[in-house]
Chains A and B, each alone.
Chain A
């Protein structure tokens, strides 16, 4: 397995880390506190050419490998997890077009999405269909010259800010998951209403909405082939889970780095907190977990580029990295004591932001279902 990056990829990571540190990180607290969409950070990523790092060059993307890509996601998440979430939701949308769209649709949408001109959203989840997307109820029925869409979606990241939404609905209500198809819904389509942003625990600089759908779409809005939507969505999520794992590393590493400087400075009685063995062992546990999650993430990223099936690898990386981010951010807050609980420091934000990692793009339980199914299938 090859974990090497090219010189250009290293330079890409370097530049992204710089922008994350100097532009995005200073805005993170503001977006968290005002619960407003992280617009300036997403614009900065657009200017940097970061919104197409998941795409090949032929569609205006950067054409870098998944290892480098996950390092960029990690850097952004370490600076501002909300921004990373808005960015990776955009990747879910463009990956949907890349994997499921016709050549014409790819040419139409991807270059402008990669350049940062257009922002995307990915709408799969419904109030009654989260872990079980095949049970979705939203429908598309053929109407003269197009489709009538009825139903609802919820918890959709970027939905209102997006220039296009990749919408997954059923075109055949009786065909189970084989009846799901994807549609391109441009901004301004009549008949879509958005809730106000949901109030959430973390990722407060990234907005999620409920959508009520009663709209008409032209024939050409069908993304790729009818009935292929579920396969596309699952393949997109396989890819996306590597990015969630990378986000986990970013938040966890930010928490660990904050802890390393804190324990040296904080005096407890006669000596710094770092001089107590309880602290040292905690730091070692945090690091060991982070590095195991990092290796799994790198493995999933390398596998993703190899062309082999990588569902097992990405589910394992996502499970372990998301759980470890929960442990590490909590341990980091604990090392900071009351200061960690105060909103003056970002430790409590790390805890809140990390909590979503065990839920979206498949909960930890869903990852275990994917993992165990792959194991049992392989040994049947």
Chain B
């Protein structure tokens, strides 16, 4: 079984982002970039499916990792290769793409690669859209198991436990299928230093939206990006009674 793991390059989660002075977006100059944490979970799950197959014979046999992004996203693809993916595809686009454009490009890669399982992060920590996986499911017509906290492949089915409000839902999907990962699915490993060095020798193919015949024209436009309002200073209350009163009347929490 071929698994396609999809990853996005985003601002590292440790970085405190700053909004550009003209409010056109987040300042990316000299900012550390990394693989989106949910995508790390996607890659880890693919690698585990392959490790499982080595032991038990026949789950994942090949992991292809794909990223839609700028040339520099090769860094994140190399990381995925170091984590255990077999080869990488970069669909190079410097534009700030909408989720739909990304889903269309992924659909084109799916058509080309014919994977049985596609694993994506449930959302990217920069744009927080949470829709690319779902859109890819709609475009391909495949079943989807979003917010996965457990994945089990058995024969031509994949059983996915989903994190839903107030509990867990288990769904069975016919392959090919699409999975988006939630936080609890697994704990990604660190890329070992020797594997980082070896990743250099694994194949990395660079494609373009044009070559895939996909138009990335957007109907959306970002008007303004603003930092969250600064927290205003707190106040000191004189008594417990006053505190309770304020919690009731002002904060309205009790």
Contacts and interface: CB of A to CB of B under 8 A. Distances in A.
Interface stretch (B137-145, B160-168, B195-203): B195-203
Interface string B176-204: 00000000000000111111110110000
B79 A48 contact: no
A11 B194 contact: no
Interface in A1-59: 7-8, 10-12, 15-16, 18-19, 47-50, 53, 57
A48 B197 contact: no
A117 to B, nearest CB: 13
B197 A15 contact: no
A93 interface: no
A15 B35 CA distance: 12
B194 A15 contact: no
Contact of A48 (B74, B75, B190): B190
A333 interface: no
Contacts of A11: 75, 78-79, 82, 191, 196, 199
Contacts of B78: 7-8, 11
A64 interface: yes
Interface residues of chain A: helix, strand, loop or mixed (majority): helix
B82 A18 contact: no
Contact of A49 (B193, B199, B200): B193
A62 B200 CA distance: 13
Given A7-B75, A8-B199, A8-B200, A53 B193 contact: yes
Interface residues of A, number: 18
A42 B72 CA distance: 33
Contacts of A146: none
A64 B193 CA distance: 10
Given A8-B197, A12-B197, A47 B192 contact: yes
A15 B200 contact: no
A16 B193 contact: yes
Contacts of A62: 193-194, 197
A28 B57 CA distance: 42
A179 interface: no
Given A7-B78, A11-B78, A64 B197 contact: yes
Nearest to B197: A8
B190 A12 contact: no
A184 B244 CA distance: 73
Most B CB contacts (10 A, CB to CB) among A18, A49, A62 go to A49
Contacts of B192: 15, 47-49
Contacts of B74: 7
A7 B74 CA distance: 10
Contacts of A12: 193, 196-197
A19 B75 contact: no
Contacts of B191: 11, 15
Given A8-B199, A8-B200, A15 B75 contact: no
A63 B193 contact: no
Interface string A196-232: 0000000000000000000000000000000000000
A12 B193 CA distance: 6
A48 B196 CA distance: 10
Given A8-B200, A11-B79, A50-B193, 11 more contacts: A7-B78, A11-B196, A15-B191, A15-B193, A15-B196, A48-B190, A48-B192, A53-B193, A62-B193, A63-B197, A64-B197
Q: Which 3 A-B pairs have the closest CB atoms?
A: A49-B193, A49-B194, A49-B192
9 contacts: A7-B200, A8-B78, A11-B79, A11-B82, A15-B82, A19-B190, A49-B193, A50-B193, A53-B193
